[in-house]
Structure 1
Amino acid sequence: MTTWISTTATAAPGARPSAAARPVRWAADAVTALREGARLRLDYSARSLWSVDRMIEGIRREEAPYAAVETVLRGFGAYAGEVIVRETGGEWWAGGGDHWVRTPDGRLWDPIDEARRCYAGDGSLRLLCREATTSP
């Protein structure tokens, strides 16, 4: 079952919905890992996703096994989702262990899956964010 938890309905003003807890943590972990490991500072801007796409491309070129990079990709996807949330005022949705972003126009986005698609050579977090932040 997919559930959406509204910030205004379930939390104090300024609080995040509970569906955001895990992806926000995964995104923060990715930011920390890139700052410490690659000396790359991410600022939750749409522009920063260009660097994330390049990092994923580098990992793919190294032919790292998916199992070895699965957690990193989840973090990159969660980071992209947080960028979309912050740029659009969207919210995280969660259900069945999966997490999506719902933008105010009602569209659903799966940035974590998009990170996996990037690793497979068929996706872009930067382009996903661009699409999510433009009106349909």
Structure 2
Amino acid sequence: MGGVDTRPRAGEMRACAADFVARATARTRLPLDYSERSLRVVDFLVDGLRKGGADRERARDALSGLGAYVGEVLVRRAGAVWVDFDADQRAYFGQSTGVRMPDGRVWNPLGKVLNRFEAGGPEDSLQTFWLKLHGRARREQAGRRTG
């Protein structure tokens, strides 16, 4: 593979999520408010891409934006922080960034979105992922509602 990795780094992920939300809500009133409830909308959007016949490459930007959004929900609502994966984590997850939960567990939000896109089963739901999520802050942060 070689070459320079042009994927966003941890410090850029909040802006990636905000850019995605701005683009996704420019023409429609999608409830992308960084709440855990909005992960149901993410499921709907990913399913729409898949059912619309988009292949992974054509859907790459949208899937990356959705992955950044899911990660940002974890940051705002579960006490996670964006992290750049080390070499072993990059090899395992196939991504350069993810989130670290307050208990030290590392999650790959983009990978979760890609799994939903590729498999689309109920077990790949982002809303279900939230409900089963380990390592959240003991008291979930209220976060600021946007939009």
Task: Answer whether TM exceeds 0.5 for this pair.
Answer: yes
Q: Is 1:82 matched with 2:72?
A: yes
1:42 aligns with 2:40: no
Alpha carbons 2:104, 2:135 under 8 Å: kept = no
| Contact 2:103–2:135 (Cα < 8 Å) also in 1 | no
Cα distance in 1 between the residues matched to 2:69 and 2:26: 16
| Alignment match, 1:4 | none
Deviation at 1:133, TM superposition (A): 5.7
Query: In the TM superposition, what is the alpha-carbon distance from 1:103 to its structure 2 partner?
Result: 0.5
Which one has a larger percent strand, Structure 1 or Structure 2?
Answer: 1
Q: Distance in 1 between matches of 2:108 and 2:127?
A: 13
Alignment of 1:119 with 2:120, yes or no, is no
The one-letter code of the counterpart of 1:126 is Q
CA distance in 2, matches of 1:133, 1:82: 16
Consecutive unaligned residues of structure 1, counting only runs of 5 or more, are 1-18
TM normalised by structure 1 equals 0.77
Aligned residues: 117
1:66-124 superposed Cα distances (whole Å, 9 cap, x missing partner):
11111110110111111111112111111366111111011111000111111112522
1:99–1:110: 8 Å Cα contact kept in structure 2? yes
1:107 aligned partner: 105
Q: Does the CA-based 8 Å contact 1:103-1:132 persist in structure 2?
A: no
Question: What pairs up with 1:1-136 in 2 under 5 angstroms?
Answer: 20-95=10-85, 98-120=96-118, 121-122=120-121, 123-132=124-133
Higher helix content, 1 or 2: 1
What secondary structure does 2:25 align onto? helix
Contact 2:101 2:135 in 1 (8 A): no
Residue identity in the other structure for 1:124: S
Aligned to 1:93, what secondary structure does the other structure show?
Answer: strand
Q: What's 2:5 paired with? A: none
- Deviation of 1:51 (Å): 0.7
* TM, length-normalised to structure 2: 0.72
For structure 2, list consecutive stretches of 5 or more residues without a partner in the other structure.
Answer: 1-8, 137-147
